[in-house]
Structure 1
């Protein structure tokens, strides 16, 4: 079905309302201009994802005919100096069509155009270019970079359409272009990994960091990137605070001017919590765009939500009681707490969003907030949480969103009694339906699954764990993925700068920036693996130490 004015309007309204999406790229970041092929690739990916969400958009060919290209400057990629009959934008669309179908020769494209009057009309072609014209355009007129972009764009369209359930002309390659996956190729050595990681890290960091802004105005002597370089540098050294780090950074950085520690902190303190979160979401959105064309990204569907604590706070918290709150353990300690939502399972484990936790905030508020932002970034099927989120109101909210959940339940009197009966029977597993009271005459229906732990240190009812799920016991095996968020927290804290400040915004920025460095590491690892092996294994090929080394190079250090 052909796109309508209303369906097109819905596409671009939807894009405009997504806070993490900036389109067109050339107008949203200084990294790109109107002739940037990388920007064009990103724009077509953004539009295609929104385009195929419309029920009436069922043709990849019609998408190619109508995707906006008027803003793009093809001149730098056109080797012909004289005027010619066919515009570059028209030829670009024609060769994307050819690549969509995987035709080796231009003749097939000519025959296709002859038999498709609707396509010719959409393209505005009065006469079909002959085979020799098309051959010269591809081999002589187009630059090599433009030819590669056409291949990339076609693959992006095929993958996006296929994931939306649209019929496509051929199966797309799910690996990055120009990669040879023959079995007789040698395994990549450490040098290959670092070389590829260096190139990808350079590209990714240039995409991600412009999402952060201090809003300092024009004419500042110290470039804003120097602040992000310093923040990265602080994260590269464990327990390094801003003052000491800034002094070291002066000597180790290749920049002429770098910020002092107090100036760095002052600028960060000016950022509100919401500004930090919005910048983080934009950065993660850009990171997701970079991995969106790989198969690993499309296995996304399971997210884990959890709360982590900073080291116990031992100072005077007067005036900060709502921010420095009690720990999750039953003791007299206090700490800052941060909540995150992270991809787990077979997907690359990126931290999709982070937020601070304040006193008296309900777990339902926290989960709802994190899911709101997450569902704007990725497709979510299943939510994994720790037992502190076992509230029936949290579970009902997740169910109302059409999502499944797996959550361990804190054992109350009835669960302990049931576990004792199971122990007496020697029964390892048991399921039962349960209604949880929501208030008034409303109930949440869930399933309780009792599971006996192997090699338990206990000899009583504590041998059993109780889980709640709204999708049956089949999802219980996925709960094992939740350990990845704990592993992620250990790495994230390694990337955090040290501080004794009680400024809530500064503390949160340090945590959020560490989450970003962690996510960059995992995204770079995925892209390197796919480039070198054609596959993604969850065990990192690029280690955190590799990433630290490469980020040092990015900041001009070492």
Structure 2
């Protein structure tokens, strides 16, 4: 190409300005503006011998436009490329590049005039973006996993996540002053970051500020106060409370306050899953559902030593456990109870989730209030939730959204009352049962002694509160321990073939275990808060993020030929970065 065919610097800058002006009407992030510019092949000379270049020239041009537009030094740029995968991918690199490579390319591929042109072009981009109020600089410095499916474009992924996020989080509100310094969205943006990066609410605000596109961000203490307001129930008595004179416990009021926007988000997501624009719906009704309980550990002991009691301004409560007197911390949270391991405690939450061939979506969340050992031994009258109460509330929540056919539960829910709750709704249940009854042990012994059969079914009836329904008992070898037997109950009289099919479907209940692992690994923040408002709200937000992840993968299902449950296009570890781009947009 002759010199006369090479555009001047002014011509290149005018082209950059015109393109940026047009792109600002399409994209809302300065990084996207840069990655969508048409870079003329003749604008920069590059190496005299292009064959020796490890990286193409155009991505390198975008890299330096990004560097100068973001006002980053080379060290900061290298950390950004390493920490935010979608930055280097969008710029056109298949992997992050080091500070040394950046420095080498700056010296060897661009002469002084071209380096000056890159700075001038970046200034033009920044100026035009500023005029359109889209100086967005919040690529998160997290460590997401490698993009799993390269046939899914960045644009497809971001569009899916943005849409799913909007559907899931648009309904949350808080009773705040009209002159509040930050809009509520700013706090949810920060909360999303905390949930996704497993940061604590005491994390210095400057850490979040580096990721946010806002000029300033809420402080941690302000954040906590606002999140409590989101979960704060109405202080006015309900009609029933006024009539009976008995007020609903605070934790139930908090539950009701937080769950309303949660259910609005669930309904939005389910509407999208069944939208006619998709060839196949994300779920078909009636659905199969699984119910289970998970725990969020709480590490502070409920007890105080004699020394702690003397040094504290809190007056301990003397309780007796197993005949021994102990000092109970009066500030130990009511909703914290013991876990399976005797030395562990935590907040417990039950969920109901769509399983089987449908897109897994959490339909309901219910806090679990168990009676603690000292409360039982001291004979205290406390408000607790029986497993039957939990199941009834979860089924009620789920029925707001879908028709359910079958419900699968483990033996932790085994009780006559729970079975009656499900059967009264006309639903089929498959429910695990502890092999404690004499008849159970006799049946298992007969199976062990039989030369041919390794399973057995028995028929009977179940009676509770004057109601009666048919029941089948299924005895089958345990999948965890072949020398032991598991017992299941079904609220119909069924044969062996039907029993085998139902137990096969019961295996899909494990999806809820994977759900809990994902939520706790990727979507819960670090917190030591004792406040149930904070704990419940954070868990619900984490559950919504799980639903957003599942929803976004559904929207991408046509791009890849995979099972969305086992191998989704977006991994949970990737979503933590993506949602940070688009959880909430700042106000115009």
- TM-score bracket, normalised by the shorter chain, equals 0.5 to 0.7
| Structure 1 portions without partners, runs of 5+ | 1-187
The answer to whether the 8 Å contact 1:429/1:449 transfers is: yes
Superposition deviation, residue 330 in structure 1: 6.2
Tell whether 2:527 aligns with 1:504: no
1:354-378 deviation digits (Å, cap 9, x = unpaired): 1211133111111111111101101
From 524, 533, 536, the counterpart of 2:552: 524
Instruction: Give distance in 2, aligned partners of 1:553 and 1:486.
Output: 29
Residue of structure 1 equivalent to 2:582: 554
Residue of structure 2 equivalent to 1:341: 352
Residue of structure 2 equivalent to 1:467: 488
**What does 1:372-521 correspond to in 2, within 5 Å?**
372-412=396-436, 413-426=438-451, 427-438=453-464, 442-453=467-478, 456=481, 458=483, 463-471=484-492, 472=494, 473=499, 474-494=501-521, 495-521=523-549
Superposition deviation, residue 539 in structure 1: 2.8
Aligned residues: 363
Superposition deviation, residue 306 in structure 1: 0.7
The 10-residue stretch of structure 1 (243-252 or 424-433) with the greater mean CA deviation from structure 2: 243-252
**What does 1:112-123 correspond to in 2, within 5 Å?**
none
* Residues 420 and 330 of structure 1: CA distance in aligned 2, closer, same or farther (over 3 Å): farther
Instruction: Give distance in 2, aligned partners of 1:415 and 1:193.
Output: 56
Residue of structure 1 equivalent to 2:320: none
The answer to whether the 8 Å contact 1:346/1:538 transfers is: no
The secondary structure found in structure 2 opposite 1:225 is: helix
Ranked by relative contact order (alpha carbons within 8 Å, sequence separation 6 or more), the top structure is 2
Residue of structure 2 equivalent to 1:192: 152
Instruction: Give distance in 2, aligned partners of 1:400 and 1:193.
Output: 48
Instruction: Give distance in 2, aligned partners of 1:265 and 1:411.
Output: 47
The answer to whether the 8 Å contact 2:560/2:569 transfers is: no
The answer to whether the 8 Å contact 2:160/2:556 transfers is: yes
Tell whether 2:274 aligns with 1:248: no
The secondary structure found in structure 2 opposite 1:336 is: strand
The answer to whether the 8 Å contact 1:296/1:536 transfers is: no
The answer to whether the 8 Å contact 2:407/2:430 transfers is: yes
The secondary structure found in structure 1 opposite 2:553 is: helix
Superposition deviation, residue 445 in structure 1: 2.9
Superposition deviation, residue 242 in structure 1: 0.7
Tell whether 2:175 aligns with 1:215: yes
Residue of structure 2 equivalent to 1:225: 185
The secondary structure found in structure 2 opposite 1:276 is: helix
From 217, 226, 233, the counterpart of 1:267: 226
* Residues 539 and 338 of structure 1: CA distance in aligned 2, closer, same or farther (over 3 Å): same
**What does 1:2-21 correspond to in 2, within 5 Å?**
none
Residue of structure 2 equivalent to 1:318: 330
1:265-307 deviation digits (Å, cap 9, x = unpaired): 1122232321111111111111111111242322560111111
The secondary structure found in structure 2 opposite 1:513 is: helix
Instruction: Give distance in 2, aligned partners of 1:322 and 1:445.
Output: 39
Tell whether 2:314 aligns with 1:289: no
* Residues 246 and 352 of structure 1: CA distance in aligned 2, closer, same or farther (over 3 Å): farther
Instruction: Give distance in 1, aligned partners of 2:482 and 2:215.
Output: 60
Instruction: Give distance in 2, aligned partners of 1:442 and 1:342.
Output: 28
Residue of structure 2 equivalent to 1:182: none
Instruction: Give distance in 2, aligned partners of 1:313 and 1:365.
Output: 27
Residue of structure 2 equivalent to 1:257: 216
Superposition deviation, residue 219 in structure 1: 3.1
The answer to whether the 8 Å contact 1:348/1:538 transfers is: no
Superposition deviation, residue 341 in structure 1: 0.7
The secondary structure found in structure 2 opposite 1:310 is: strand
Instruction: Give distance in 2, aligned partners of 1:289 and 1:216.
Output: 30
Q: What RMSD, in angstroms, separates the aligned Cα atoms of the two structures?
A: 2.4
The secondary structure found in structure 1 opposite 2:282 is: helix
The answer to whether the 8 Å contact 2:333/2:531 transfers is: no
Superposition deviation, residue 314 in structure 1: 2.9
* Residues 283 and 529 of structure 1: CA distance in aligned 2, closer, same or farther (over 3 Å): same
Residue of structure 1 equivalent to 2:284: 298
* Residues 553 and 305 of structure 1: CA distance in aligned 2, closer, same or farther (over 3 Å): same
The answer to whether the 8 Å contact 1:392/1:444 transfers is: no
The answer to whether the 8 Å contact 1:299/1:347 transfers is: no
The 10-residue stretch of structure 1 (488-497 or 308-317) with the greater mean CA deviation from structure 2: 308-317
Instruction: Give distance in 2, aligned partners of 1:321 and 1:222.
Output: 30
Superposition deviation, residue 417 in structure 1: 2.0
The answer to whether the 8 Å contact 1:449/1:466 transfers is: yes
The answer to whether the 8 Å contact 2:411/2:433 transfers is: yes
* Residues 315 and 417 of structure 1: CA distance in aligned 2, closer, same or farther (over 3 Å): same
Superposition deviation, residue 527 in structure 1: 1.0
The secondary structure found in structure 2 opposite 1:497 is: coil
From 352, 364, 371, the counterpart of 2:395: 371
Instruction: Give distance in 1, aligned partners of 2:536 and 2:334.
Output: 14
Instruction: Give distance in 2, aligned partners of 1:497 and 1:486.
Output: 19
**What does 1:158-197 correspond to in 2, within 5 Å?**
189-190=149-150, 192-197=152-157
Tell whether 2:277 aligns with 1:278: no
Superposition deviation, residue 333 in structure 1: 3.2
Residue of structure 1 equivalent to 2:570: 542
From 365, 374, 393, the counterpart of 1:354: 365
Name the TM-score, length of structure 1 as normaliser: 0.61
Residue of structure 2 equivalent to 1:86: none
Which structure has the larger Rg? 2
Instruction: Give distance in 2, aligned partners of 1:191 and 1:330.
Output: 45
Instruction: Give distance in 2, aligned partners of 1:496 and 1:393.
Output: 33
